[in-house]
Structure 1
Amino acid sequence: MIRMLLRVLGHDHARPVRRTVALMTITAIVEGLSYALLVPVLRALFGSDPEDALPWLIAFGGAVAVYAVLRYVSDLLGFRTGTALLRGMYHRLGDHLARLPLGWYSTGRVGEVSVLASQGVLQTMGVIAHLLGPYISALATPATIVVVMLAFNWQLGLAALVAVPLVAAIQIWTGRSIAAGDADRHERETEAAGRVVEYLQAQPVLRAGGRSVQRFALLDDSLRELQRASRRTVLSVLPGMIGLTVVVQAMFTALLVLGTYLALGGAIGAAEVLAILVLAGRCADPLLSLADIGGKVRSARSELARLDAVLRTEPLPEAPEPIQPVGHGLELESVAFRHGDRRVLDGLSLSVPEGHRLAVVGPSGAGKSTLLQLLARFYDVDAGAVRVGGVDVRAIGTEALMAKISIVFQDVYLFDGTVEENVRLGRPDASEAEVRAAASAARLDEVIERLPGGWAANVGEGGALLSGGERQRVSIARALLKNAPIVLLDEVTSSLDPVNEAAVHDGIERLMADRTVVMVAHRMRTVRRADRIAFLDGGRIVEEGRHDELLHRAGRYADFWSASLTPAAHD
């Protein structure tokens, strides 16, 4: 487990963990050695001159004092190391998740990552702070005491040593049972977490269907399965706990019988037998706690293994020597891309000269949004190349690429904070005047004037306290503030009311001015003003040209234009 923990934490945190483990091990060994001094103490007390026990008692007291200091220091170090690593682990996990391709985030990942990022990280990092010390003590202290027994009397030491493989076998067997139960429980937890999220997101649908007062069957079923899995996990621990108790009690009984036999035969004194039994009693306590502590450690190990699997998932590769593109033109050359078993783009080629606007239209599922995601390198292509400024995006550093691109999605996500904080995400170091100018250009100032609190108004989780049009204006203001030379737009006005659509359209026009633009749209108000239009279907460009040219051809684009024509298209 320690090796996996060090791998998960990374090289930067390996040294404090090793130092903590070493100190905890030394503390456990000192505890066992301090108990060894009980043998000469008892031997002197039961001998002809009890005063001979005084030096041994002083030595015993000193050893206990040293152990107490070491225990305090090791526990404090473990707690401080655990809390420090918890912060570092959250940063490492967050940075890694941000580098994974979007294709990794399947539907089931939401619940899995939420459980892992909350319960999983806390449980694994809590091992260092709360479980590692007792666990090492439960292993090292009895082992040290057995060595002491062997030194004082080899027969009793061997008798105690017999229990070692039995305890190890029980721990291994219990560990496998717990691992199987933990895997099942984790699967149920992930499903239940996903169902809770689904239940919350589905409230409008449930209420519209008159089911707001009814129980949500899918959520109830997942919670019942979680309850059953948790019960099975608890029950899987009981045989190991009972077996360990039986072994420890049998070992103590065997030592008592053997010690009595040796004492009656004159091979050992009564004081030595009593001392060995005291040592055996000190072995029993940590061994009996091993079942409970070991179960918690194994459960944390399961979480650690899942965390390790996420961190070992390969992110998009970074170029060893990144190239900085000079221009802002865009090019896709013979691009092929698959999403699962489905081929989304097949041999697609197009180019957008610097400062020009390309509109991409086509039926749903044609691959329009995927094209934008490839330009932003949310995925890597399976074949072909995507270039920005003549440089393959795989050869550009991620930060350098993102600095050149502003993206406005159809579904805007805002972080739970103020309006200003969400706008400043575009450029955190922007001046107040620049933020206000971006808001004015996006017509966000109209929204801010009517919000209680103005710029300090909280938008809620995901922007839930704002309307769709208001969220879109925040997104456009954020993109304007970023002032990137390339703009990617993904159907930003497709679900807005006429008033918000007009406001957003004005903001989009300002955002696109003098920039390289690729826009995906269903509504044609901005499409017909593009320098070029590409009609995408089946992952291929089937038509390409200016708006008037494509209408004159009376092909697929002309049919699409006629079918999607709205009064707004004549503005």
Structure 2
Amino acid sequence: MANGLTSTHVKVRQSKVGRQARWALILSVVLTWFSVIGMCMAIIGAGRIIDGGGVSRWIIVGPFVVMVSFALRGWVLAGGQVAEERRVRRQLVERVFQAGEIRTSKFPTGAVVGLATESAEKMVAFRVGFMSQIVASLTSPLLVLVAMGWSSRWWLAAVVAAMLPIVPLVVGGFRKMVARVSHGSQDARKALAADYMDALRALGTLQLLGASSRVAQRLAARGEDNRVAVMQLLRGNQLILFVIDAVFSLAIVAVSAGLALFQVRQGVLTPGQGITVIALSILLLEPMDHVGAFFYVGMAGWGAQRGIHGFISSLPTGRAHVPSTQPGCITMQDVSFSHGDCVVLSHAQLEIQRGQRVAIVGRSGAGKSTLLSLIAGMKTPQAGAITRGGDCAVVAQHTWLFQGTIADNLRLARPEATEEEMWQALSSAQLADEIRTMPAGLSTLIGEFGVGLSGGQAQRLSLARALISGRRIVLFDEPTAHVDLASEAKILDAINNLGRDYTVVMVTHRDTSLAHMDRIVRVTNGRIEEEEHQHAH
């Protein structure tokens, strides 16, 4: 499943980096140039000392420039990478929330988590750190060549310059050769992360079914695939390092040293100038060493970028509903939706007025929850249009609560909510008295999925969170399906006590939930049919 996130045949164009990261990249290159100039100054100053010219200020100023440039470069890059990681992760999260259940039905959670953590880090390290180093490495040798020609002979610098194009040609060639290895490594890591996360989430179920050993074997196989892919990636990286050292480093130093020694013997260059030429030729290798050292980052980052952009581009961008000019109203016009070959809704019509309470009933599998998901915007109709007058809050059949305090879970819907507003929402959800009996009150810690609360308490906390959001359309998906009769009565009382400024839509299969509903609609054979109903006043 994880491999479905990206296809090796899909090419995704690199998007622009954020403004702060772009400035960090530019400043990093400029600071690298300054550090190279500082090293050239120090080398030329040392050569003059050898020739008896005395201590030059260059040999003092040069190292100072180098130290300041390196310190500033590290600070600038760190800030740029942090800002870019934050931007990339925010973009991922926004697209995940925008896609809703469309995303969860196509991509495993573990793979998405892997993209937002490890892949985002590798992508940013590639786009900011690696790219700035590559640009600096390919341009700073020009500064060294200028220093070499100015301090000795220009023709010597020209000979060395003629050898420089070898490096980008070699690196580019090897990059194409190892591109598939890089993509394979990225896919293997995503597959392992996806299976590992899914296994953790289903650990209890796996133990009950006796399938834990089989899943463990599958995880071991995924881990071995990942290990093999990583070793192939490292092998490509080491091969590039060897080629650069053998083809470029040895040739540059040997040619420069031979020419410098010959010119010193001929009396064309002084000994200090000869040593300067050799030292500057070695300085040419320093940026190129970074090309090899960062190549692993580059290959991993390219694969991570491909995975992230592939994920983002594969999610639907269209809106699931159109805003209505009538607050609290919901209208479905000629809506069709299918799961594969199974038709759930066919040219369905539904109109709900502001303040109405509508129950959706039907046999199991008829499409009640799908209809609610379409109204909520978590699914997109394949035909027709849905208009909705405002945002909605959803109280799901399985309550989504997170590890933290009760206040933390309420503030997910409204971060600026005061304690008074939270108590008011809990009171409306018939939960305030029970929370007050807890020693920590709103600061009571609960576990993931509401561990520490009863099923009824968790469901009413979900209702309180919906109310504190301030949204006037509230959708309920079987809110009493997994609670006892006492909890069911409290939940229904809380729903029935909502004012007429709330539009309520509830999926239910229990007759006790219908008493205070204004309308009942039945989903059957792809249609939405109105049923006669006399609600209690």
TM-score per shorter chain, which class? 0.7 to 0.9
Shift of 1:45: 4.9
Query: Which structure's relative contact order is higher, taking Cα pairs within 8 Å and 6+ residues apart?
Result: 2
Match of 2:532 in 1: 546
Matched AA of 1:103: I
Higher mean displacement: 337-346 or 118-127: 337-346
- Post-superposition Cα deviations, 1:70-92, rounded to whole Å, max 9, x if no partner, equal 33233322223333444444444
Match of 1:7 in 2: 16
Contact 1:359–1:519 under 8 Å retained in 2: yes
Contact 2:45–2:58 under 8 Å retained in 1: no
Shift of 1:36: 4.3
Matched AA of 2:16: R
Specify the SS of the correspondent of 1:7: coil
Match of 2:7 in 1: none
Paired positions, count: 521
The 1:539–1:165 alpha-carbon spacing in structure 2 relative to 1, beyond 3 Å, is farther
- Partner Cα distance (1:548, 1:526) in 2: 13
Match status 1:26 vs 2:30: yes
Specify the SS of the correspondent of 1:387: strand
- Post-superposition Cα deviations, 1:503-527, rounded to whole Å, max 9, x if no partner, equal 3232232247663322212222223
Match status 1:103 vs 2:112: no
Shift of 1:104: 2.9
Shift of 1:475: 1.0
- Post-superposition Cα deviations, 1:224-281, rounded to whole Å, max 9, x if no partner, equal 2222222221112121111111021122122233444455556555543332111111
Unaligned runs of 5+ in 1: 390-400, 550-571
Matched AA of 1:508: I
Match of 1:58 in 2: 57
Matched AA of 1:122: E
- Select the residue among 503, 517, 523 that pairs with 2:490: 503
Match of 2:457 in 1: 470
Q: Counterparts in 2 of 1:112-123, with a 5 A limit?
A: 112-123=111-122
Match of 2:354 in 1: 354
- Partner Cα distance (1:467, 1:453) in 2: 17
Contact 2:42–2:63 under 8 Å retained in 1: no
The 1:33–1:53 alpha-carbon spacing in structure 2 relative to 1, beyond 3 Å, is farther
Shift of 1:285: 3.0
Match status 1:77 vs 2:76: yes
The 1:491–1:437 alpha-carbon spacing in structure 2 relative to 1, beyond 3 Å, is same
Matched AA of 1:544: E
Q: Counterparts in 2 of 1:396-435, with a 5 A limit?
A: 401-402=390-391, 405-435=392-422
The 1:22–1:433 alpha-carbon spacing in structure 2 relative to 1, beyond 3 Å, is closer
- Select the residue among 519, 527, 537 that pairs with 2:514: 527
The 1:176–1:44 alpha-carbon spacing in structure 2 relative to 1, beyond 3 Å, is same
Higher mean displacement: 126-135 or 293-302: 126-135
Shift of 1:357: 2.7
Shift of 1:5: 7.8
Shift of 1:348: 0.7
Match of 1:325 in 2: 325
Higher mean displacement: 466-475 or 26-35: 26-35
Unaligned runs of 5+ in 2: 1-12
The 1:497–1:293 alpha-carbon spacing in structure 2 relative to 1, beyond 3 Å, is same
Higher mean displacement: 243-252 or 421-430: 421-430
The 1:74–1:132 alpha-carbon spacing in structure 2 relative to 1, beyond 3 Å, is farther
Contact 2:345–2:367 under 8 Å retained in 1: yes
Higher mean displacement: 440-449 or 69-78: 440-449
Matched AA of 1:303: A
Contact 1:337–1:382 under 8 Å retained in 2: yes
- Partner Cα distance (1:34, 1:8) in 2: 30
- Partner Cα distance (2:39, 2:294) in 1: 22
Shift of 1:457: 1.3
Contact 1:533–1:547 under 8 Å retained in 2: yes
- Partner Cα distance (2:60, 2:373) in 1: 69
Matched AA of 1:306: G
The 1:537–1:138 alpha-carbon spacing in structure 2 relative to 1, beyond 3 Å, is same
Specify the SS of the correspondent of 1:332: strand
Contact 1:406–1:484 under 8 Å retained in 2: yes
Match of 1:291 in 2: 292
- Partner Cα distance (1:385, 1:155) in 2: 74
- Post-superposition Cα deviations, 1:520-558, rounded to whole Å, max 9, x if no partner, equal 1222222365333322234323x4321589xxxxxxxxx
- Partner Cα distance (2:500, 2:385) in 1: 27
Match of 2:440 in 1: 453
Specify the SS of the correspondent of 1:500: helix
Match of 2:173 in 1: 173
The 1:296–1:361 alpha-carbon spacing in structure 2 relative to 1, beyond 3 Å, is same
Shift of 1:196: 1.8
Q: Counterparts in 2 of 1:125-140, with a 5 A limit?
A: 125-126=124-125, 135-140=134-139
Shift of 1:451: 4.6
Contact 1:30–1:63 under 8 Å retained in 2: no
- Partner Cα distance (1:107, 1:418) in 2: 32
- Partner Cα distance (1:204, 1:312) in 2: 34
Higher mean displacement: 210-219 or 408-417: 210-219
Higher mean displacement: 132-141 or 268-277: 132-141
Contact 1:358–1:530 under 8 Å retained in 2: yes
- Partner Cα distance (1:182, 1:512) in 2: 58
Q: Identity over the aligned pairs, expressed in percent?
A: 25
Shift of 1:349: 0.8
Match of 2:192 in 1: 192
Shift of 1:366: 2.8
Question: What is the Cα-based RMSD across aligned positions, in Å?
Answer: 3.5
- Partner Cα distance (1:354, 1:34) in 2: 72
Q: Counterparts in 2 of 1:386-405, with a 5 A limit?
A: 386-389=386-389, 401-402=390-391, 405=392
- Select the residue among 467, 480, 505 that pairs with 1:493: 480
Shift of 1:220: 1.9
Contact 1:335–1:383 under 8 Å retained in 2: yes
Match of 1:146 in 2: 145
Specify the SS of the correspondent of 1:494: coil
Contact 1:345–1:367 under 8 Å retained in 2: yes
Specify the SS of the correspondent of 2:366: coil
Contact 1:78–1:133 under 8 Å retained in 2: no
Match of 1:250 in 2: 251
Match of 1:164 in 2: 164
Match of 2:503 in 1: 516
Matched AA of 1:332: M
- Post-superposition Cα deviations, 1:130-182, rounded to whole Å, max 9, x if no partner, equal 65665555433333223444554354334423432321123223333443223
